[in-house]
Amino acid sequence: MRTIYLSGPMGAGKSTVAVALGRRLQRPVIDLDQRIEAQAGMSIARIFAERGEGAFRGLEAELARATITEGAVVALGGGALTNDALRHDLLEAGLVVTLRADPEVLLQRIGDGGGRPLLAGLEVAQRRARLLALLEARACAYAECHAEVDTGDTSVDEAVEQIATLASDVRVVVPLGLRTYRVEIGRGVRARVAERARAAAKGDVVLVHDVAADNPRPWPRDVAERLTQAGRRCVSVRLEDGERHKHVGSVETIWDAALDAGVDRHALVLGVGGGVVGDLTGFAASTLLRGVALGQVPTTLLSMVDSSVGGKTGFNRPRGKNLVGTFYQPSFVLCDVETLSTLEDAERVSGLAEVVKSAWLDGEDAVARLEADAAALRAGEEGATIRAIEMSVRLKARIVRQDEREGGKRMWLNLGHTVGHGLEAAHHYVGLRHGEAVALGMIAALRVGVAQGRTEADSVARLTQLLHALGLPVDLDERLSEEALDFIESDKKKSGSSVRFVVPGRPGDTCVLPLSLGAIKTAVRG
């Protein structure tokens, strides 16, 4: 049971809502300021006066972390989550809700500022100026949360009900300051698309989707109907299905449909489909009218765990995969596992390769969980699938927060992709799914790791067995060709005469090594 943290500015009602929410959920309630005073044996005002704000923040962070395992409702101080490390720890472990209200409402509730060290002794005009300065300084910290609730024109009971519905939600925050967004995972979450679209942009919705003639899926029409019923004009853009159509011509189709419909900079470009749709939609949104809002409703497992999250967009060129693109974050991502029910089994299983990659990067606990869930995942069991998506997205969100533009640690997410992309290109993007290619690419990466003395035999056997148990291919030698290996030369991670190659060790122990093309080819050939 996750601890629920109520954050936000002074006067937003954190303590009042916390008491009511604790009663509603039958959970203990912790007022962090009261716990700090009990621990210190003095009032917060006195701590500020005698020890300084730095000492107070240190004690505040220590006691906040101690609540992570308590499953309580915690009312935080207004400045608690300005501590970046603490904020990210609580986002990972708990449910963080920011309470907001109009500044004039906050000032009315605060009164003369009594008992609030940052406002003590100030005149009305000074209190207003100080509060506005605090709100501006803390805006990025307050934005990094699982949800926001406006308590200015909402009753306590209404606020409590809004937060209570989140307690069982699966949401992963991608914390990027004012560009923060949430990845919502579960059955039926696509029903929230109209509400999320309204928050993201006020104009028309350019709905981009693909269609497979042999397996038409209902989800683009379903999403369009929900938006239309909410009063939004939808411009539907249909792309040809498949990786071979991931080219600039498809991007032009999106641009032209949007411009012909007369959309403006208040538009939302919304991708509903798999990874190809997601990448092309993202690139189109990042460049249309120099950038409009982007939303993602991924409908394949692969796109849920990979392309819809993190902001990498792009398309293929004759020299290789994803060689032209941008970094552009969405405003929201809705991963509705119900959409997987119309996916071919082979396509769904293919997406598990990215799950294996994420687990291996994450560490031992994630790999062990995946091994325990392997049979259920292969069969498409919903609970196991939600766990796998959440694990993968959490790992990616953590890495993107640290390295949004792939300057360092984010390169780890390319595990299996260097050779995998070469295999896809050599097959002309036909007959080998992306996930299958990544699985084979991880086998190749294991061989490189062994050659470099980084990967031990038990890790090779374990990762290979996990891929096989999930129904993914491990027969690299039968699919390998010189043409596939030659495509490595066009890899985006190439620098001079070497390629920055992601090498797996044990779970949670991955590194990037600059290796020559010759060394990689020799190791992969085995």
Q: Which of 100, 217, 417, 454 is catalytic?
A: 417
* Beta strands in 247-359, from DSSP E residues, in sequence order: 268-273, 293-298, 315-317, 320-324, 332-336
Whether 406 is a known active-site residue: answer yes
Q: Which of 60, 144, 354, 436 is catalytic?
A: 354
Mark out the alpha helices in 152-306 (DSSP H runs).
156-164, 193-200, 219-229, 248-260, 275-287, 301-302
Q: Which of 396, 427, 447, 492 is catalytic?
A: 396
Beta strands 73-75 and 4-7, pairing class: parallel
Q: Which of 398, 434, 454, 492 is catalytic?
A: 434
Whether 428 is a known active-site residue: answer no
Whether 521 is a known active-site residue: answer no
Whether 290 is a known active-site residue: answer yes
Helix axes 417-426, 517-525, angle to 10 degrees: 80
Residues 334 and 298: their CA atoms lie apart, in Å, by: 7
Q: Which of 100, 217, 421, 492 is catalytic?
A: 421
Instruction: Classify the phi-psi angles of 478: left when phi > 0, otherwise alpha if psi is within -120 to 50, otherwise beta.
Output: alpha
Phi, psi (degrees; rounded to nearest 5) at 266: -90, 5
Whether 202 is a known active-site residue: answer no
Whether 482 is a known active-site residue: answer no
Whether 322 is a known active-site residue: answer no
Instruction: Classify the phi-psi angles of 145: left when phi > 0, otherwise alpha if psi is within -120 to 50, otherwise beta.
Output: beta
Phi, psi (degrees; rounded to nearest 5) at 28: -65, 150
Whether 427 is a known active-site residue: answer no
Q: Which of 100, 321, 387, 414 is catalytic?
A: 414
Closest CA to 205 of 122, 163, 267: 267
Residues 193 and 219: their CA atoms lie apart, in Å, by: 12
Q: Which of 60, 184, 347, 406 is catalytic?
A: 406
Q: Which of 312, 321, 433, 454 is catalytic?
A: 312
Q: Which of 116, 127, 146, 410 is catalytic?
A: 410
Catalytic residues: 290, 312, 354, 396, 406, 410, 414, 417, 421, 434
